[in-house]
Structure 1
């Protein structure tokens, strides 16, 4: 907490924010504003946060729950960490790995000169907070500046030919909203950024292209694609030096929030970052030599995690054999995003032998990159309904039940999260079945 407060204080002093630092009790309290669902139903945000805390996505600390709800980086639990990492991996695969003109970069959190940065690294533990504050080292608020700084070295990779892009993911520090109880504090936000350099004559077409690309990418992972939309940024909302802007939006139960922002920056931002000769900035557009225009695409991946969670949550009603109505809560996360693909449990039979089978199957799945939950290690007696409730809320794709049949003839029970259908399958077929299932989901 001390380092978090120091970061906020550094942010405030380096950005000349003339307000007081948040008191500790404000940081730890839950939001006073209730968030109701759009149809007047129960507290949708509260229900979601309870589920996320109950199923190890976030810890039961109200401060972190509030941060996530605001689209800020919070402390994630085991499942939350994997969900966020999976989302970032999918973003990177879509923007960088599948495109020969996009290169990944990495920049520092601080935006000062090299000497000041080295000084911070050499700081002794005994230095006082006042000495740290006197450095007034600015923390980055966007990843754009780092990409602009690496523009000239990157030209050689493309033989000075347009278009190309520089991509990065990392933490940025942003001030709280003006109407927030935590006014004056800076918050960490995980940003995914693509800075695209193109010829002036094609910049508008590229903005349209990337807008479609980003909207389709968000919709790919969701049950309700219509909850995602785009909106042109009006003239009065645009930042100085921008000619066009677009936002990718998600419709939360309490209203629309921005997931991603795309700006057409022209050449002004590049010229500000590289003073001096314009010749070193020029590129080839066919036979022409031009000064490139810059497009900036930045996504708030913490708010993206929240959007994916809300869009995946379903309450399904079913009637049992005795005509009793039950409501089933399930987190239908996309197969590529689900933190846990398979849960392994064991039924009746020789405990030691079944455990050995489960452990062998667990390692076989992990060896091929399929995340598995070792439910068989839990010695608490639970009914099948309770197990399914737990795994449905965790977003687990399949539950594998190892029992006496597995020992006798290699057959085990496979339950599908989305259909609840149970079928028998030979243990030797499980790995290939899961790999094909996940691979097919990635191509949709």
Structure 2
């Protein structure tokens, strides 16, 4: 099933195959459409971790100690606060891949090993919490993170929290896994730690005020491999619902992360009407784009049948398609087709932008 999804993703520009020589092992690189999906996923992560947080969160790049000191001073030596960053992942060389190939069969899937090192990055959030509040924060954080995955998923029930594990150094670890027909995939790792030695900070730097006392914080961290998150949502969105007795392949992306939020389909009986409808589609596309709504308007829009256009857009994961026909030129009414239900609703061209904005405003 995974390779069936991967072939569809290659066809529509989400990924490119990167066959490793002498190993017969498929890796992938991000394609142009995939980079749009990845950007939207990062934006949703950023909103959840930085914008929509009860604690103040700072962004780090390359110098964690400097960012930590700035955050500590800005927060007047008081907890809590957080630091988020994007970092390069560990390199996996050819020997590692050969060993992986030897230890697993050809059908075994592990998302984190399907992208080459140079395309691997991970998102990390580190929250500095009072030791009196850290356990409570950790448990709340687990629920919040699972809710986040479920909220933008096509199949919310696939996301599970593992049991809490206590490591030798005293840290507590919980993973968020996604369940697939080929097995469980780890998509996020959460850790509660009282030992700050791994952060490279001096003892004097990690003293904070709590009333009249000085305390050392505990940390709660989240780590997500970006390529794992990307492949997860590709596989999460893949469905084959029956339509008129036949399976219909779609990528059911949440509308907040879909690479293109609306596409256009044109149906006309002659060259003149098709030309006018194409011009109208271009005008509407510009209006939507100027309001920060990504659109897909292809030259083939007027050349293929409506069913062929729907098939392409569904497999690209476009949530809505604006269908323009010759009546649109007369009464201004177009049909807005839903990818998920295939149902169409009437919308006047003058109301399209406002209506689409409202659709994408909420989850």
TM-score class, shorter: 0.7 to 0.9
Worse-superposed segment, 337-346 or 93-102: 93-102
Asked whether the equivalents of residues 265 and 302 of structure 2 are also in contact (C-alpha less than 8 Å), the reply is no
Q: Deviations over 1:111-162 (max 9, x none)?
A: xxxxxxxxxxxxxxxxxxxxxxxxxxxxxxxxxxx54553222211111110
* 1:169 Cα deviation after fit: 2.4
Q: Deviations over 1:14-72 (max 9, x none)?
A: xxxxxxxxxxxxxxxxxxxxxxxxxxxxxx01110111011111124445xx9x987xx
Equivalent positions of 1:183-332 (< 5 A) are 186=117, 188-232=119-163, 234-235=165-166, 238=167, 241-269=169-197, 273-275=200-202, 278-319=203-244, 325-332=245-252
SS at match of 1:232: coil
1:335 and 2:255 aligned: yes
1:162 paired residue number: 79
Asked whether the equivalents of residues 18 and 29 of structure 2 are also in contact (C-alpha less than 8 Å), the reply is no
Asked whether the equivalents of residues 92 and 117 of structure 2 are also in contact (C-alpha less than 8 Å), the reply is yes
Label 1:345 to 1:61 Cα distance change in 2 as closer, same or farther (>3 A).
farther
Asked whether the equivalents of residues 263 and 297 of structure 1 are also in contact (C-alpha less than 8 Å), the reply is yes
Aligned residues: 342
Q: Deviations over 1:344-373 (max 9, x none)?
A: 122115233222211111100000111110
2:358 paired residue number: 436
SS at match of 1:105: strand
Equivalent positions of 1:388-403 (< 5 A) are 388-403=310-325
Question: Unmatched 5+ residue regions in structure 2?
Answer: 104-115
Quick check: which one's strand share is greater? 2
TM-score by length of 2: 0.86
Structure number with larger C-alpha Rg: 1
Q: Deviations over 1:296-321 (max 9, x none)?
A: 211112211222222211111133xx
1:369 and 2:289 aligned: no
1:384 paired residue number: 306
Label 1:305 to 1:379 Cα distance change in 2 as closer, same or farther (>3 A).
closer
Asked whether the equivalents of residues 244 and 263 of structure 1 are also in contact (C-alpha less than 8 Å), the reply is yes
Asked whether the equivalents of residues 266 and 301 of structure 2 are also in contact (C-alpha less than 8 Å), the reply is no
How far apart, CA to CA, are the structure 2 residues paired with 1:309 and 1:97? 25
RMSD: 2.5
Q: Deviations over 1:195-253 (max 9, x none)?
A: 11111222222211211111111111113222111113544xx3x63421111111132
Asked whether the equivalents of residues 173 and 187 of structure 1 are also in contact (C-alpha less than 8 Å), the reply is no
1:97 paired residue number: 51
How far apart, CA to CA, are the structure 1 residues paired with 2:133 and 2:65? 19
Question: Unmatched 5+ residue regions in structure 1?
Answer: 1-43, 109-145, 320-324
Q: Deviations over 1:370-423 (max 9, x none)?
A: 111013x12783222211111111111111122222222211122111110123
1:121 paired residue number: none
Label 1:269 to 1:368 Cα distance change in 2 as closer, same or farther (>3 A).
same
Label 1:428 to 1:157 Cα distance change in 2 as closer, same or farther (>3 A).
same
How far apart, CA to CA, are the structure 1 residues paired with 2:56 and 2:26? 32
2:16 paired residue number: 59
